[in-house]
């Protein structure tokens, strides 16, 4: 999906999995293909109004859904943090995550990294395969 006015006024491409793609396609059929912001305001009864959602409306929607889920102290930016952190947890490299999040610097992306000690242990285990091979080569040279 092409985002025409991403953060910083830049255009970028966002990749969607099949479930997200299908959900967005279904929404676009309801919303129709008129130009404008992706998400429109909804009136009571679910009638969509050809007007983009305000920042306050997005905040209220997130708070409402968080309350239903039993989550407290949530903000729209938490969605961004979760997106970045979940990709890093899944083993996606920081450069790719930075590009997917539309961040100009991997240093900004690294600030979201919450992986901690378990990620370091997992990384160290990746060397377990290499060390015996290196030792074997070294011992052959003697």
Select the highest-mean-pLDDT range: 22-36, 77-91, 125-139. 77-91
Show the beta-strand stretches assigned E in the chain: 2-3, 12-13, 40-42, 48-52
pLDDT band at residue 130 using 50, 70 and 90 as cut-offs: low
Residue 94 structure tokens: 């920081």
Residue 63 structure tokens: 């708070």
Kindly give, in sequence order, each residue whose CB lies less than 8 Å from that of residue 125, ignoring residues fewer than 6 positions away.
none
Global pTM exceeds 0.85:
no
Helix residue ranges, H only, the chain: 18-31, 55-69, 76-89, 94-100, 106-110, 116-126, 130-141
Residue 131 structure tokens: 């060390």
Percent of the chain scored above 90 by pLDDT?
18
Reported as a single tens digit per residue, the pLDDT across 53-73 is: 888 888 888 999 999 999 988
Reported as a single tens digit per residue, the pLDDT across 94-111 is: 999 998 888 889 999 988
- Stretch (H or E) spanning 71: none
CB 66 within 8 A of CB 73: no
Percent of the chain scored above 70 by pLDDT?
96
Cα 94-88-62 angle, rounded to 5 deg: 115
């Amino acid at each position: 999906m092409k985002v025409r006015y991403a953060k910083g006024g830049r255009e970028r491409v966002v990749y969607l999995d099949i479930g997200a793609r299908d959900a967005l396609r279904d929404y676009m059929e309801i919303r129709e293909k008129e130009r404008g912001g992706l998400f429109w305001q909804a009136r009571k009864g679910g009638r969509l109004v050809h007007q983009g959602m305000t920042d306050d409306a997005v905040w209220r929607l997130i708070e409402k859904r968080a309350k239903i889920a039993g989550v407290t102290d949530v903000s729209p930016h938490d969605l961004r943090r979760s997106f970045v952190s979940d990709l890093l947890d899944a083993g996606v490299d920081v450069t790719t995550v930075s590009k997917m999040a539309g961040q100009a610097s991997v240093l900004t992306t690294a600030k979201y990294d919450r992986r901690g000690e378990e990620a370091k242990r997992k990384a160290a285990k990746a060397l377990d395969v290499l060390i015996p091979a290196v030792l074997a080569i070294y011992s052959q040279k003697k």
